[in-house]
Amino acid sequence: MASDPAAAAATAKKPKLHGRAFYESIGSPKYIVAPMVDQSEFAWRMLSRSFLPDSEKSRLLAYSPMFHARLFGEDQKYRDRHFQPTKPDSDALFLDGNPAIDRPFFVQFCANDPQALLTAAKLVAPYCDAVDLNLGCPQGIAKKGHYGSFLQEDQELIHRLIKTLHENLDIPVTAKIRILDTKEATLKYAQNVLSAGASILTVHGRRREQKGHLTGLADWQIIRYLRDSLPPETVLFANGNILQHEDLENCLAATGADGVMSAEGNLSNPGIFAAPPPPGQEPRGYWRGKDGRGGWRVDEVFRRYLDIMHQYVLGVPPPPRRPLFVPGDDTAWLVEPITLPGHEDGDGADARPKKRRSDVAKDNPVLIAANFIGMQPHLFHLLRHFVSRHHDVRGALAKARLGDIDTYEAIYRMVEKKVAEGLLEYERTGGKSVEADVPAAAAAGEEGGQEDRESSARALRECWRPWWVVQPIIRPLPKEAMAKGAVQMSKKERKRMAAEMEGKEENGAKKSKEEDRGDEPAAPAVVVAETAVATESFEKTTSYPSSALVSG
């Protein structure tokens, strides 16, 4: 029996609700932090909630990272590293799923064995509101392990996985899927998941093949088709094409979904779910340019992240900090030297002996857990545009050691200083200091008249901000990637299209006519075949014409 009253309350059995009744019981959240492997851990969820007013924080639903069900059920070390609902060697509530600070909260598993999934789910059930089954992961590791989107050909197994949890778990089960090749097939898939007992269905509007350079646009129309075809009481979340705050409401309006989930957009900007402050009411950490567009400053986001690590994960007060700099403040501090721990001799090399991860875990187990493991990749994502200019920060971040909070504090001071210098230069030049940084495609789009629907120029133009502001990473659309050589046809596709093109009389007739007119000769058949199959594939991939967004 739990000795801590709060822990006892958290583990107390509640009546099991289903579907919309359950959704309403957790506050009917409209915005959702997506489950991401090693990237939606407690500290990140807290950071994402921190930009919302206190009255709205509990209305942001957040998922755990995706956990491997079999490993979670069998390996205590795996559980300790990834899930910390109570303090070590204690029943006292700690981080994951803490009712005071981390709710509503769903835990996601990947699995292909119903009993292994149930075993893992029972371990987390006292500390979350629902358990989610990952049916969307498209990566090679999911193919090798036979889970995620690589279960979609086995609808019977999917049904058994969900039904097992629905019938044997004290809390609801939910599921996240990707769309299939047709809207009709996707509807049958959704109906199978719901009939097995899922209380909430999340739909990522991309097919399994849409990843990397082929990510393309998510298809909101298929999600709208599901909304219109499924019973009205079905709770539906949409996922895909969320790059900035405005896209959240656009997605809800286009799809009719109850909530909208963000993964990449949230990684680039954890404040994406918060409405921008009105002009003239910006806090110090929110920058607004001379053109009226703005966003959260990287030093503000970095600072919040560090403070959360200190306060919640390490259980100590954050260090004293000066107010975030704005032009007009004292600048004397800008000349103070910043030295990274271990580099006191000034030669740039870390003189401290390197520690293996096992040694770090032995010295301080809390440092080997998910919240510290996620720090470096999170900061590289947040500072993606920043470090493309400031290579010294990139180098320092690359060398940061697991759990070395003092080094991260020093890197923060480097970032804080460079942001201040950037703001001063922006004011001094009347905004011209960042003009050279505007992507060529975005600048060209401003003059271009007719918008190219197969171009990412519009997204680049709408989302671009100076390097001191958090902003999304814009992928080129698949046709752009192909033109740059980033995408190549597979041998199978080449062979298929070459066979289809072979012997077609219209090509020969067209070539003869062109030669008679003195036109340039037609492209070789192989090139035509490659272009045709690529066009066909990409049009299928990017079939949502009224969205200019390219990732998320």
Distances (CA, A) of 62 to 26, 101, 105, 244, 374: 12, 11, 5, 18, 16
Note if 110 is an active site residue: no
Distances (CA, A) of 348 to 341, 345, 352, 543: 10, 8, 12, 51
Return the SS3 of 549: coil
Q: What are phi and psi of 190, to 5 degrees?
A: -60, -40
Burial class (CB in 10 A: 0-12, 13-18, 19+), 81: middle
d(CA 125, CA 196): 19
- As beta bridge partners, residue 275 has none
Is 178:138 a contact under the CB 8 Å cutoff?
yes
d(CA 402, CA 373): 7
Helices and strands counted in the chain (H then E):
26, 10
16, 123, 107, 100: which is closest to 64 by C-alpha?
107
Other C-beta atoms lying within 10 Å of the C-beta of residue 337: 5
d(CA 387, CA 385): 6
d(CA 530, CA 381): 34
Tokens of 486: 């980033």
Exactly one of 110, 137, 251, 463 is catalytic; name it: 137
Spell out the SS3 assignment of 382-421: HCHHHHCCCHHHHHHHHHCCCCCHHHHHHHHHHHHHHHHH
Return the SS3 of 164: helix
Name the residues annotated as catalytic.
Answer: 137
